[in-house]
Structure 1
Amino acid sequence: MEKLSHTRRLNKILNEIDYQPEWRGEADRCHQYFDGKQLDPRLIQALKERRQPVLTTNLIAPAINGVLGMEARSRTGWFIRADDNEFEDVAEALNVRVSEALRMAKADKACSDGYLGQIIGGIGWVEVKKNKDPLGSKYRIGCIHRDEIDWDWKADNWLLRKRWIDVEEAVASFPKFKSIIEGAAGEWSNFDSSAFKPVGDLLSNAYDEYQYSTRDETEWLNPARDMIKIYELYYRVWESEIIMRSEDGRAIVYNPDNTVHVAMVASGKVEVERRSVPKLRLSWYAGPHHLIDMPSPHPHNHYPYIPFFGSREDKIKIPYGLVRPMLSPQDEINFRRIKLTSQLNYKRIVMDDDATRMSDEAVIDEVHASDGIVKLNPNAKRDGGARFTVETDQGIAQQQFQIMQESKTLIQDVGGIYNAFLGKEGGAQSGIAINSLVEQGATTLADINDNYREARQMVGELVMAHEVEELKEKRNVRVIVPGKKIGEKEREVFINQEGEAGELTNAITQARTQVVLGEIQQSPGYRAQVTQMLMDFLSKLPQELQIGSMDIIIEQIDLPQDIKERLMKAYAKLSGNANPDDMSDEEKAAAKAQQDKQEAVEQIEMKTMQLQLQELQEKLGNLAADTDLTTAKTGTEKVKAAQMVDELQRSSAVPPPLPDM
C-alpha cells in the first residue's frame, strides 16, 4: 500500500476541502455585483412578466474603482537593501537584476490584479515562477483565479492548485506518464487488470489508484471536451536537521558538503543544535493518479502562490472584501428604483362592467399609452353613464425616492470611502481639508493595505531568491549599476569576483540582503505635489540657497530622463560643477583658464593674508616690549617712592627726652 500513500494524501486533502466553510459563492456574488450583474435571472424573468422595468444602478463599481486608483497612485517600488555596508555593492547589483526581472514580468500589473481580487472578493492570488518559455520573460508572474487554489486554513501545511487542461497538453507536460493520462481520459472499465497486476507496472498501479479513489469521476474528467484536471500539491514535511546559529543570530541548515560550513563548525564560532525544520515538497496528479513527488523545485521554502488577503472573519477566517457590506445597500437601491419607476407609470383603472365595450387588455394598453383612446359605452344603464376613472399615487413615489437617496450614501459609508477620495465635490473647500479626507479614507483601508504591502513584498523576495540561486554558482558576473543621482556615471559591480588566490569578493551567498518597499510614492501625481511643495519652500529662501537647491527640484520633476540630464548639465555649468566628460574642448579651455585665474587670485589672497599676519605679529612683539619697559619703569619708581617714605618717616620722628640730671 506504500504506492497509494500519495493518493491517500490527495484524497484526504480533497475531503478536507469539502468540509471547509463555504465562501466562494459569496465572493462570486461580490465580483458579479462589481461587474453590474446584480439581478438574479429568476427576478428578471418575474419583472418582465409583471411588466416592470429591469433596472440596475451600479454604485459599487465607482467606489471600488476609486480604491483601485489609490493603489495605482500610491504604488511603491521594490528595493534590495544590505544589512551591513560590507555588501552594499552586492545589494545594488542585485537590485538592478531583480528590478529588471520584475519589470519584464509585469509584476506591477499582477499585483494590481491581486489587489482587485483582495478588495472585491477578499482574496487574490499571484504566481511567481521561472518561465518555461525560452522566448518569454525570465519569470512568470501573474494573477491566478481564486477558484483554482485551495489551502490549509488551520496550519498552512499544504496548498493545492487544480486546473483543467487538454489531454494533449497534459501528455506534453508529462511524457513519461502518457499511458496513465490517456488511460485516465478513457474508461477504466475496459482495462484488463488481470494481465497487469502481477507485473506491477505503471498502468496496474494507476488502476489501483483509480479503485482507491472515492471522488466522483466528473470532478477530474470532462470527456466531452477531452480535458483532465491536473492537481499541483505543495505540502510540508518535518525533518530533523543540524542548525548552525552565528553570533548575530542568523541560522542556517548545516551542509556537510560545504567546506565553509565545516570550517565554521571547527572554529567554534557558531552554535550547533539539532532541530526539526519544515521542508516543502511538490506532488503532481492527473485526476486521482499520482505522477511525480519531489522536493520543491524553487530555491525558497515558500509556496510560489502568494495570497492577497482582504479582511478575514475572526473565528473561521473566511476572507471578504469591501464589496460584501455594500451588497445590501446596492440591492435596496436597485429595488427602490424599480419600485419608483413602476409607481411613476402606475395607473389603477376603476370602471363598471359596461363602461366600455373594449376588453380589459385593450383598456390597459390604451390607458398606459401616451396617446391612448378609451371609448366609453354610451348605452350604460346607470344614470349619468358608467363609472370610469384612472387613479395614480405619487405620494409613495416621493417616499421611495428619499429612501433610495439615503441608500446611495450607505454604499460609501459602509466602505469608509469619502467623496474626496473618489474625486467628488464635498464640504471641504481648501486643499488641506480635501487631502485630510483622502487620508481618512486611506486610513479606513489600513488593514487591507498592510496585507497588500506584505504580499507585494513577498513577490520581490521570491524573485530575489531565484536570482541568488542563479548567481551563486557563477563567477565574475558583471552588472552595470546606474548612478544614484541624475547625471552621475554608471559603474561596474562584479558579483562573486574571483581573486588570484581563488578568494571571492562580493560573494552572493554571504551577503545578507532583504527586499523592502520604497517609503516614497513614485506616482506622477505625488511627484508633482512634492515638486510644488519644494518650489513653495525654496521661493522663501535667499537667492543663493535657491540656486544651490535647483538639483533637488530637477530630480523631482516628472520629466523624461534625457531632459532631466540636459537640465542637470546646464545647472552644473552654471554653478561651475560641470563634469569634464560632458564639456567640449572650448568649454574645457575656458574652464581651465577660469580655474587658473581663480588659483592666481587665491594665491594673491594667501600672500596678502601672510603679510598681514606677519605685520600683526611684529606689532604684537613691539607691544610686548613696550609693556615690559613700562613694567620695569613702574617697579623702579615704586622702589624710589618707598625710600622717600622711609626718609620722611625718619626725619619727622621726635627724639626721646633727655634724662634728668
Structure 2
Amino acid sequence: MAINENEKLGDLDRDFLASQEGQFLAWAHGLYQRELDLQADARTKRAIDAAFYDGDQFTDEELAEYELRNQKPRVFNEIKPTVDWLLGGERRVRTDWAILPRTEDDSKPSIHKSKLAKYIDDINNARWHRSEAYADMTKTGEGWIAIEYLPNPDGDHQITIQHEHWRYMLADSKSRRRDMTDMQYLWRTKIIDLESLILHFPEKRQELINLSGDMDVLEQELLDEGLNSTDPSDSERHLRSGTMNFMNSAGDRDGVKVYEMWYKQTEKVKLLRGEGSFNNTVYDPKNPDHQVLTEHYGFTLAEVTRQQMYCAMYTDDTVLYRQKSPYKHNRFPFVRRYAYLKDREGTPYGVIRSVIDPQSDLNIRRNKALHMLSSVRVVMEKGAVEDKEALAEEVARWDAIVEYDAGKKLEIQEGSDRANQQLNVGEQNSAYIRQISGVTGENRGMDTNATSGIAIQARQEQGTIISTVLTDMHSLGRKMEGELVLSLIEQFMDKPFQFRITADNLKDAVEFAKINDESEPETNITKTQSDFVVAERDYRTTMRQALSEQMMSSAAAIAQHTGNPDLAVSMLTAALDLQDLPDKDRLIDSLRKAAGMPPLSETEEERQQREQQQAQAQAQQQEMQQKQIELEMKERSAKIAELEARAAKTLVDSEMLKVRTLFEKLNTLKSGIETGGMAVQNHAALPVVDQLIDQIDSVLNLAPDPQQESQTAQPDPAAEQQAMLEQQMQQEQEQALMQQQEQEMMQQQQMQQEQQPDPNDPAMQDMQQQPV
C-alpha cells in the first residue's frame, strides 16, 4: 500500500523543505517511491511465490467458483516438499571458514580473531539466521542478513548477525552484481515502538507523536507496501494529536514508520600509504595509531576520489539523523543473496516462480477429478422421465432406482473414466515440477522408473547440479558476512575480553580465549588486519558419498600392501570429511589422535609445540637406542672375552695334558725299561716284552695328529674346543690302555717272582753273566 510522496511532502513547511534536512527528505522520499513503483510488479509476484509455498494457491475468483458448485477447494502442494528438500540440504551441509593473516607477523592475532569470530557466530545463533536468509532466497529470490554493531540489553555494544525479511528491504533496482559493489542505495523500513523512539530522539518528541499509529495496522501496511494501489486513506491508520498517549482506548500499541537509508556519495578522502596491514586505510586524524604511523613509520597520505557510505534515519516528515557511515569497511552493513535475476528488469525471483503454473494446473486437475468421481452424468432422450429434478436426486443416491419410459433411451455415465484423464495430467504436472526445480523423485526417495543404481545416482546428481546455483550464491553471501564481521572486530573490539569457545569439537573440553591482553602482545587484534576465507565445499552430495565409499574401501587395501597404517587413517579421515555426519570433526580428530596424528584443527602454536615435543621425544628415543646399542656391544664384548678366556683355558689345559701325558709316557717308558730288565732275567716274560717293544712306538709317538693340527688351525673357537675334547678323550683312552697293560705286567711280574729260582743257584749266576 504505497503512499503518494507528494501528498506527504505537501504538508511540510516550506522553510523546512528549503533546509538541508528538508532537501534530503524530499530526495530520499522521491527515490524511495520511484523504486517502489519500479519494483511493484516484481514484489507482488514474489509475494505470490511465498503464498504458494504456504499453501495459499487459489485466487478470490477461483474460491468463489468452488463455492458456487458447493465444493471445498483442496491444495495438492508439490512446491513445499520440493523447497523443503533444498532448505534441508543447506542445513545439512554448512560451510566452514577461516581467518588468514595478511602478513607473516599477523599470524598469531589471526588465530585469536578466528576464535572470536566463532564466538560472535555462536552468541548470535548466526547459522539459523543464515538459513532463514537462504529460505527467502529460495522461495522469493532474495534474502538479507544485517551485520551491525549495536547495544545489547546490558548496555554494552556487540556485533550482531540477524536475518532481515525481504518485505522490509528495498534495494537499488539497477544493481546486478552479486557482491553489491554496484548498488548505490538501499532502505530498511520498520515499525518502531513510539516510546522507544522518543527515548532515543527526545528532541523529535512532538513530530513522532503526530506520526504515531496502531502498530498492527502500520505493520500490515508495510507488508503490503508496493503490492497494490489501494488508497492509504481507506486504511485504519490514524494520526495522533499533540498530547502524549502511548496506548489508546483499545489497548493497541503505538508505533512510527521509520526509514533507514544507506547510500553512497562521491567525495575525496585521504588514505594511508605504506608497508603493512594499514596500507590503503582511511586516515583518521583522531586516531593516535594513524598519527604514529605518519610521524614515525614513514606512512604517507594520498588523497583519492571515491564513494563514501552515508546513513540516515527519517520518518515521513522529519529527519532523525544523517551522517557518514560509522563503519570503517565503507560498505553496506547488509548482505544480499539472490537466486536468479530477470535479464531485462534485473528483479530477483526464486525457485517457485517456474513451478507456479504447473502447480496451479495440478490443483485444478485434482479438484476436477474429485468432482467427477463424486458425480454422474445422465444422457437420455427427451421425454424419458417426467420429473428431471426427481431423477437428479435419485441418481445422486448410491442405491438409486431409476424408472424411464419404455422405448426411450437413458444412460447413466459414471465419472471415473473422465476423472482418470484428469489424474493423468495431474501426475504429469507433478513430474514436471520435480524436473524443472532440480529436486527429482530420486532426491526425495520416491519410487520412480529408474531401476538400476547407476540410473538413480545419475538422476540424483542431476538434481544437485541444478541446485548448485543456490548453494554457490549462499557461499558468497557467507564470505561477505565474514568480511564484515572481521572488519567490525578489527575496528571495535579494542578492549581486554575473555570468552569461551563452544565449537563442536570441544564438547569434552572447555577452551577460554582472551584478546587485547596487555601481558600478551600477540592477543592484540586491533593492530593488524586479516582476510576472511570460506572453505570450498562440494555440494554434490551423491558424488561425495560415492567418493567417500570408494576411499573407505581402498584404505584397508592400501594399508595392507604398504604396511603403513597412517596412510589408511589419512584415507579414512578424508572419507569421513566427505560424509554428512553430525559432529564429524570431533570423530575425525579422535581417529587421528588414536593413530598418533595431529588434529585437522591444529593451530600454528599447537603445531610448533607438537613438533617440539616430537623432537624431544625423538631425541630421547635415539638416546635410549644408543644406550641399548652400547649395552648390547658390551654384552657381546663380554661374551667374546668369556669365550676367549675359555679357549685360552682349554689351550692351557691341552698343553698341560700334553705335558702330563708325556710325563706319564716317560714313566711308562721307565717302567718298561725296568720290566725289560727283569724280563731278561726271566725267559718266561720275554713274549710280553716283545709285545711291549712292538707298541713302544705308538706309546712314545709324540707327534700330533695331522687332523688335529688342521682343526686346531681353524679360528673357530667352538671347533677348536671340540678338537681339544676329542684329543683329550683319545689320550684318556690311550692312558687307560697303558694302565691296563701295566697292571697285566705287574701281575706277570708277581707271578714270575713267585716262580723265580734262587739267586744263589749257580745256573742263574751263569745266565746273568752272559751278555744280553
Length-normalised TM-score, structure 1: 0.71
Shift of 1:303: 2.2
Contact 2:499 2:514 in 1 (8 A): yes
Q: Cα distance, 1:122 vs. partner? A: 0.6
Structure 1's 553 and 354: CA in aligned 2 closer, same or farther, altered over 3 A?
closer
Aligned mates of 1:11, 1:278 — CA distance in 2: 22
Conserved 8 A contact 1:76-1:522: no
What do you get for the CA RMSD once the two structures are aligned?
A: 4.5
Listed one character per residue, the Cα deviations across residues 618-654 of structure 1 (whole Å, up to 9, x for unaligned) are xxxxxxxxxxxxxxxxxxxxxxxxxxxxxxxxxxxxx
- Residue 538 of structure 1 is matched in structure 2 by 555
Report the Cα offset of residue 421 of structure 1: 2.5
Mapping of residues 514-525 of structure 1, within 5 Å: 514-520=531-537
SS of equivalent residue, structure 2 residue 443: helix
**1:66-465 counterparts in 2 under 5 A?**
66-134=85-153, 138-154=158-174, 156-185=183-212, 222-223=238-239, 226-246=254-274, 250-258=279-287, 261=290, 272-350=301-379, 358=387, 360-374=388-402, 384=406, 388-392=410-414, 395-426=417-448, 434-465=456-487
Task: Kindly indicate whether the alpha-carbon contact (under 8 Å) linking 2:490 and 2:529 is maintained by their aligned counterparts in 1.
Answer: no
Cα gap change, 1:149 to 1:548, in 2 (>3 Å): closer
* C-alpha distance 257-172 of structure 1, shift in aligned 2 (>3 A): closer
For the 8 Å contact 1:480–1:493, the answer to whether it is kept is: yes
Q: Within the alignment, does 1:511 sit opposite 2:528 as a pair?
A: yes
Cα deviation, residue 55, structure 1: 2.5
Q: 1:642 corresponds to which residue? A: none
User: By how many angstroms is 1:164 displaced?
Assistant: 2.2
Bigger fraction of residues in helix: 2
CA distance in 1, matches of 2:553, 2:162: 42
Instruction: Please report how far the alpha carbon of residue 243 of structure 1 lies from its aligned counterpart in structure 2 after TM superposition.
Output: 2.6
Q: Would the aligned equivalents of 1:121 and 1:321 in 2 still touch at CA under 8 Å?
A: yes
Do 2:112 and 2:525's aligned partners in 1 also have CA atoms closer than 8 Å? no
Contact 1:126–1:142 (CA<8 Å) still a contact in 2? yes
Quote how far apart the aligned CAs of 1:181 are.
0.9
Conserved in 2, the CA contact under 8 Å of 1:280 and 1:302?
yes
1:301 alignment partner, SS class: coil
- The answer as to whether partners of 1:420 and 1:437 remain within 8 angstroms in 2 is yes
Over residues 392-429 of structure 1, what are the superposed CA-to-partner deviations in whole Å (9 max), with x where a residue is unaligned?
Answer: 46554443333222222210222233333323344656
What is the CA distance between 1:373 and its match in structure 2?
A: 4.5
Cα distance between partner residues in 2 of 1:604 and 1:487? 47
Give the AA of the match of 1:519: E
Contact 1:105 1:137 in 2 (8 A): no
Q: Is the 8 A contact 2:558 2:567 kept in 1?
A: no
Look up the SS of the partner of 1:421 in the other structure: coil
CA contact (8 A) 1:240 1:274 kept: yes
Q: Which residue of 1 aligns with 2:490?
A: 468
Which residue of structure 1 aligns with residue 43 of structure 2? Answer: 24
For residue 183 of structure 1, report the CA deviation from its aligned partner.
Answer: 2.6
CA change 1:487–1:610 in 2 (3 A) is farther
CA distance in 2, matches of 1:450, 1:593: 51
Q: Does the C-alpha gap of structure 1 residues 172 and 374 become closer, same or farther in structure 2, counting only changes over 3 Å?
A: farther
Contact 1:312 1:318 (8 Å CA) reproduced: yes
The CA deviation at 1:273 is 3.3
1:38 aligns with 2:50: no
The CA deviation at 1:563 is: 8.2
Change (3 A) 1:507 1:608: farther
Higher Cα Rg, which structure: 2
Assess, with a 3 A threshold, how the Cα gap between structure 1 residues 391 and 328 changes in structure 2: closer, same or farther. Answer: same
Preserved contact between residue 76 and residue 521 of structure 1 (Cα < 8 Å): no
Gap change, CA 1:83 and 1:440, over 3 Å in 2: farther
CA contact 1:93–1:480 (8 Å) conserved in 2: no
Residues 323 and 529 (structure 1), Cα distance of their counterparts in 2 relative to 1, 3 Å cut: same
Answer yes or no: is the 8 Å Cα contact 1:481–1:493 preserved in 2.
yes
Label 1:375 to 1:524 Cα distance change in 2 as closer, same or farther (>3 A).
closer
Pair 1:9–1:545, CA change in 2 (3 A): same
Q: Find the counterpart in structure 2 of residue 49 from structure 1.
A: 68
* Residues 553, 180 of structure 1: alpha-carbon distance in 2 compared, 3 angstrom cutoff: same
Give the deviation of 1:511 after TM superposition.
2.6
Bigger drift between 394-403 and 313-322 goes to 394-403
Shift, 1:114, TM fit: 0.8
Q: Distance in 1 between matches of 2:466 and 2:532?
A: 27
Equivalent AA in structure 1 for residue 265 of structure 2? V
For 1:445 and 1:524, the matched residues in 2 are separated by 11
Change (3 A) 1:262 1:25: same
TM-aligned CA deviation for residue 607 of structure 1: 7.9
Contact 1:73 1:526 (C-alpha < 8 Å) held by counterparts: no
User: Following TM superposition, by how much is the alpha carbon of 1:526 offset from its aligned partner in structure 2, in angstroms?
Assistant: 10
- Structure 2 CA distance for aligned equivalents of residues 490 and 548 of structure 1: 31
CA 1:453–1:468: 2 relative to 1, 3 Å: same
> How many residue pairs end up in the alignment?
556
- Deviation for aligned residue 1:90: 1.2
Distance 2:141 2:350 in 1: 4
Instruction: For residue 264 of structure 1, report the CA deviation from its aligned partner.
Output: 5.2
Higher relative contact order (CA 8 A, sep 6+): 1
- Note the C-alpha offset of 1:349: 3.0
Picking from 9, 30, 54, the partner of 1:12 is: 30
Distance 2:419 2:501 in 1: 69
Q: Which moved more, 1:512-521 or 1:240-249?
A: 240-249
Matched AA of 1:417: V
After TM superposition, list the pairs within 5 Å mapping 1:614-653 onto structure 2: none
User: What secondary structure sits across from 1:292 in the alignment?
Assistant: strand
CA-to-partner distance for each residue in 1:183-203, whole Å, 9 max, x for gaps? 3338xxxxxxxxxxxxxxxxx
Alpha-carbon distance, 1:343 to partner? 2.8
Q: Residues 510 and 420 of structure 1: is their aligned pair in 2 closer, same or farther, counting only changes over 3 Å?
A: farther
C-alpha distance in 2, partners of 1:318/1:254?
38
Tell me how far apart the structure 2 counterparts of residues 53 and 220 of structure 1 sit (CA, whole Å).
32
Alpha-carbon distance in structure 2 between the residues aligned to 1:49 and 1:364 = 18
**2:170 counterpart letter in structure 1:** D
Task: Provide the C-alpha distance between the structure 2 equivalents of 1:491 and 1:342, rounded to a whole number of angstroms.
Answer: 65
Output the CA distance in 2 between the equivalents of 1:350 and 1:433.
Answer: 49
CA distance in 2, matches of 1:481, 1:523: 31
Q: Which whole-Å CA distance do the structure 2 matches of 1:99 and 1:526 have between them? A: 30
Q: Is the 8 A contact 2:559 2:567 kept in 1?
A: no
1:330 Cα deviation from its structure 2 partner: 0.9
Q: Give the distance between the partners of 1:605 and 1:296, measured in 2 at CA.
A: 77
Indicate the SS of the match to 1:252: coil
Structure 1 contact 255–261 (Cα < 8 Å) conserved: yes
C-alpha change, 1:532 and 1:173, in structure 2 (3 Å) is farther
Sequence identity percentage: 22
- CA distance 1:425–1:93, change in 2 (3 Å): farther
Deviations 1:588-619 (A, max 9, x none): xxxx99999755324446889999xxxxxxxx
**How big is the shift at 1:506?**
5.7
